[in-house]
Amino acid sequence: MFHEFEERFTPDRRILAQSGMSCHTSSLNTPEDKEQAQQIQHEDLLNLVLKVLRSWNDPLLHMVSEVQDIPQAPDTILWKTVEIEEQAKQLLEGMERIVGRIHPGDLENEVYSPWPGPPAAAPGDENSRLFAFYNLVHCLRRDAHKIDNYLKVLKCRLIHDGNC
């Protein structure tokens, strides 16, 4: 679901490379390679997907409002951001139904990785505001890719018995 976004919205790597980027979801201990993804229990992997998705609720809402204030942003980026926010919400609802079936009643207080909010920028400091937005795009792309990969692994494991 996020793939179109990746194609249209890849940020300028040089800007990103020069500054210390960090993602608010990096504290979630998610599998980083094939062995780790295969060894983790499917319940735990589903829970991780859920946590990552929940961690994006607030920043995605922020991005939707922020992108409307970026004068250079073309309309395609504006409506893509809105669409991604909407699709992430739908994916989260779907995941909550699935996880809720596996662990009924266990959903409410699941800890996730909260977003600390946008960095305080001096008024009129458009560059740091733009950079903060790029940073979020970079992290969103990474987490979207991660979730996509985990869900494909889960699908092959649970539906196709490891033989996709």
Which residues are near other proteins by CB under 8 A? 3, 6-7, 13, 17, 21-22, 26, 30, 32-35, 37-38, 141-142, 145-146, 148-149, 152-157, 162-164
CB 108, min distance to other proteins, A: 28
Interactions with Na ion, residue window 6-35 (CB under 5 A): 33
Q: Which residues contact 54 (CB under 8 A, 6 or more apart)?
A: 92, 110, 112
CB 162, min distance to Na ion, A: 18
63 phi and psi, to 5 degrees? -65, -40
What count of other Cβ atoms lies within 10 Å of the Cβ of residue 151?
Answer: 16
Query: Burial letters for 1-23: b for 16+ Cβ neighbours within 10 Å, e otherwise?
Result: ebeebeeebebeeeeeeeeebeb
Examine residue 39 and tell whether it contacts Na ion (CB under 5 A). Answer: no
DSSP code of residue 118: S
Residue 75 interacts with which of Na ion, other proteins, none, CB < 5 to 8 Å by class: none
Interactions with Na ion, residue window 128-147 (CB under 5 A): 145
Interface contacts to Na ion, rule CB under 5 A? 33, 145, 149
